[in-house]
Structure 1
Amino acid sequence: MEKEQKKILIACDSPRSLLDFRGKLIQELLVKHEVSVFTPRIDQKEIRDKLINMNVKIYESKLNTSNVSVLADLKYIVQLYNLIKKTKPDIFFPYAFKPVIYGSIVANFRKVKCITPMLTGLGYNFLEIDSKRTIIQNITRRLLKLSLKANDRMRIIFQNNDDYNTLIKANTITRKNKTFIVNGSGVDLTYYNYSEPDVKAISFLMIARLINAKGIKEYYESAKVIKSKFPGVTFKLIGPYDDNIDAINTELFTKVKSDGVIEYIGLVSDVRPFISQSSIIVLPSYYGEGVPRCILEGMAMGRAVITSNSVGCKETINPHLTMRNGFLVPIKNTLELISKMEYYILHPGDIIKFGINGRKYAEEKFDVNKVNKQMLQILVGTE
């Protein structure tokens, strides 16, 4: 017997993520169900047009995800409350912290039948940082505990085991919660095609927002040392410099932009040409990732990896040494990062070998179709 059509409301913190991270999933949901999105204002015409052409209903907010504003957050809560009251969704699917916290509280209050918050990494909130942020961390943890309180309608989705265990140890969730773990957001292996990397003109590429916890300083300092030894090696950086509590300081940003150590490209709409031109993908993050999408994209295109031995990042490195696709380095350890960069420069054959292994690992573990099959089961109960 065919399942009845359901109304699904997705709440996010970035309109770009709706297509980049959830586009294939939304397409799958639209086959049998009605999908609406509650997103910060969509300024990019191509994103709006694509969602409209997919028959997605769009509702916009003024959510500011980078900074704390009590008044703005209250307005977001009221707007979401009114939207849920008006649209009466059967399933509420929020991802990213503010939509998860505020959305789950509102959806619980409105007795939405199925609430499926996805935690795409814990960010700073469970890291021990300075005292200035501890207040925000404590508030966030308490709100998260309130929003994820176990009940029959709540299904929590994680992207790695570490985040689940962290919330259990912190008593944010309990064993009573219904939880699921999926392999990140997945990667479309037909969109990110394999190509053999250039090992004669070696190039390192980092794709990340310009915030400290992504490891921007470590990447820059490593690039400076490597270029002094191997002047022909190039370094590129893709990502926005935006208003964020952890944005890199002005001095470092100026160096990144103008001193010639790194070629700073900024935000791009399509990373594929840049990955294709690169030899190795680097992400020395200690941010508290889910599973970093930029590494999955690089793996799908056959690029060797250097990333940090931290939550989420370590999920992307195949633990079987015979199928190694990259290296893990300790967080904030520039010397180890330099060492692994030098290894690739001195062993160019492994750049190709690790890249092939990475593509295979992406096919095995991170194929978006496999991830979405599990997501559909969680969200709408498909078999």
Structure 2
Amino acid sequence: MSFPWANEYKPGNPLTQWLDEKLPLPRFVYNAVGAGYPVPRNLNYAWNFGVLAGFCLMLQIVTGVVLAMHYAANAGVAFDSVEHIMRDVNWGWMLRYAHANGASAFFVVVYIHIFRGFFYGSYKAPREMIWLLGVVIFLLMMATAFMGYVLPWGQMSFWGAKVITGLFGAIPLVGEPIQVWLLGGFAPDNAALNRFFSLHFLLPFVIAAVVVLHIWALHIPGSSNPTGVEVKNESDTVPFHPYYTAKDGFGLGVFLLGYCTMLFFFPNALGHPDNYIPANAMSTPAHIVPEWYFWPFYAILRAFTADFLIIPAKLMGVLAMFSAILVWFFLPWLDRSPVRSGHFRPVFKKFYFALVVDVLVLGYCGGAPAEEPYVMISQIASIYYFAHFLIILPIVSAIEQPEALPFSITEAVLGKDESATLAPAAAH
């Protein structure tokens, strides 16, 4: 967003002046995350999670590149190569645990980032493209994480690959050819492992490219804020640096405390015990379950237990599972309320927290065995999930009477004291 009061980049010496003329990279950084980028002054710690997501992505890329130097994408030795990394490679155990737990940390951060967007209406105009690119990033994350889970070639890796790729077989006519094409055969083996390893290595760089577009799209309208009120004048903003670099730095420190605690004290807490057993196509685990960050969608997949007319239950489950994410693409048009922030939408706020509980219930059921009462609870929770986005949200946005909004961001922060409101502008 172009602010007339934004600080202008001024090279301080002949070298930086020459660089600014030939390759204005310092100017780009200054305008993107420095004092040249004014940001609403009322951002709370919920806005830290975008930066934390970027940090997690870089952590995954760095650790993944080093791990790839020692991993062997061959079904005969893949499991042993992971053990080699853990036991023989210098600091290999830490790199492997950092990468595995980094994936979980990445999803925690991104889920909070997404639900912050749900509550504060970050998907509303003029920021639709930011939201759409964010959903694309999430889909790429899901694909990357699934392929990465296959690489250790333990029992859960093998059978997870077989079950998830088997879902494509439910698609009429083209399903089975697609499944064979994905695996390079009729069951997960060398071809599948090589393909998944190649894509798992490549996709994080694709995610990084889409993140650049995501940030670029963000800088056109500027950041949203907890009130949902747009920036009106200079007093509504502060430079990103040093105000939010310091705030993000503090948030990063808190995040690292939790992440390092997990890494050094509970590194296997989120891993499935069966995945520490080499893959065996002749021995099916009693309970096949994906990683925890797939559980809500896995519960939706398993909620369909009976055919509907000529549509098989398996196909309906697959369509519902993908639709659970694809529906997010339509949020800017499903929610027609002129008010963005959930703070000023009392009815929406209640349904939002009901959605949070519903997703947590789906997550719990997705990690539970495919038996009663978990299947029935998954069915009820799945119905509510889709009803929230397709029925409740459009109706609430049409009939709800929002609370009064503050006149400006400054008023929301400092109150209606005229002298206090004008003080930052007068200081310039």
TM-score of the aligned structures, taking structure 2 as reference length: 0.24
Larger-Rg structure: 2
Bigger proportion of residues as strand? 1
Higher relative contact order (CA closer than 8 Å, sequence separation 6+): 2
Bigger proportion of residues as helix? 2
TM-score of the aligned structures, taking structure 1 as reference length: 0.26
